[in-house]
Amino acid sequence: MSGPWVEKYRPNNLEEIVGQDHIVQRLKRYVDEESMPNLMFTGPAGVGKTTTALALAKSVLGDYWRQNFLELNASDARGIDTVRTNIKNFCRLKPVGAPFRIIFLDEVDNMTKDAQHALRREMEMYTKTSSFILSCNYSSKIIDPIQSRCAIFRFAPVKGNHIIKRLEIIAQKEELDIDIKAIESIVYFAEGDLRKAINILQASASVSEKITEESIHEVVSKARPQDVKKMINKALNGDFLGARNILREVMVVQGISGEDMVTQIYQEVSRMAMQDSIDEETYVNLISSISEYDFRIREGANPRIQLEALITKFLSKSRTD
Ligand SMILES: Nc1ncnc2c1ncn2[C@@H]1O[C@H](COP(=O)(O)OP(=O)(O)OP(=O)(O)O)[C@@H](O)[C@H]1O
Ligand SMILES: [Mg+2]
């Protein structure tokens, strides 16, 4: 089967959802009790909010879940009135073959405050027959009267070991030739977003038969973390030419953009500070330089000249320390 793997491997039931155990446990109680309050799912992208809502609906509504489940995007281009009309039309009908109906409303944090107040009134009007599941990235953008009417579930970024497990299952089913180093590098770039991880896996499978760390880097078009690390260490040790050579190799040969380079330097420097391999004062000074050069590059200055200049800031650091 072709098509996106994120859909092909979207879990169909609560058991298959990874890394959100305490949420799944709480939700299973609603399945047992055959009733549920209004829910709010909040958290970053690609961690299972929509997937969990679908799996929950299938579990509580059973065979008739399709007839009793409505999925809407709150930031519908046709406007909030269309969304409300859809909700009204759906809620007016009695549930068929299931104890109640479920409305899943995505991206609620994109609704204006006025629209949220209108939504709140609708939620109240149909409490007898319907339950709402609202999904958003930031619960702070949701008005209090809605928050207080929902049981709130906070989804966390998916942990590395769970991402690895999920990718291994997909790799096995797709009969991919992939090593653990490549999987670990996907985890590094996915930053807790399982959708991103699966998309990187699929993209790299389509470019090469054997998936290695190299093919992953090609697909994400980011520099190898070890190159960035080597460059920074050389600079901190006063080896400007060595650091600059790595920078040129990465930017010219591998074609990494100036913006991506600054971001990766920032990530690496932050990691070094967390691991105490640079002291706090050095870290503070470097961050200040990084932010300045990041700004200049984004404003259109020549990225190679800017990055070489940024490297000199690392040099003077090692000398004054
Ligand atoms: N916890 C998870 N367990 C298993 N698969 C997951 C999980 N989270 C994400 N996925 C995979 O990633 C895809 C996207 O996840 P989903 O649509 O649930 O993300 P989301 O949290 O709703 O993101 P967004 O905020 O962008 O709407 C799913 O189809 C599934 O393949
Ligand atoms: Mg979603």
- Give the pLDDT of residue 319: 43
- Among all ligands shown, which has an atom nearest to the Cα of 10? 1
* Answer CATH for 5-154 from 3.40.50.970, 3.40.50.300, 3.20.80.10, 3.30.200.190: 3.40.50.300
319 C-alpha vs ligand 1 centroid, how far in Å? 47
Whether the predicted pLDDT of 1 surpasses 80: no
Place of tokens 């096995």: 172
- The CATH T-level fold of domain 225-320 is Zinc Finger, Delta Prime; domain 3 (1.20.272)
From CA 15, how far away is CA 181, in angstroms rounded?
28
pLDDT tens-digit profile of 264-316?
A: 999 999 999 999 889 999 999 999 999 999 999 999 999 999 999 999 999 96
Q: According to the model, what pLDDT value does residue 310 have?
A: 97
How far away, in angstroms, is 160 Cα from ligand 1 center? 15
Residues with CB under 6 A from ligand 1: 6-7, 9-11, 17-20, 45-51, 137, 158, 166, 194-195, 198
**Tens digits of residue pLDDT in 168-224:** 999 999 999 999 999 999 999 998 999 999 999 999 998 888 999 988 988 887 888
Residue with tokens 């609603």: 30
Residues facing 102 on adjacent strands: 69, 131
Q: What is the CATH architecture of 160-220? A: Orthogonal Bundle (1.10)
Which of 50, 75, 105, 107 has the most ligand 1 atoms within 8 A of CB, as the residue to mutate? Answer: 50
225-236 and 303-320 helices, crossing angle to 10°: 50
Q: In what order do the strands lie in the sheet with 101-106?
A: 69-73, 101-106, 130-136, 38-42, 150-154
Residues 6 or more apart whose Cβ sits within 8 Å of residue 77: none
Contact by Cβ (8 Å): 90, 119: no
| pTM for the model | 0.80
Give the residues across from 91 on adjacent strands: none
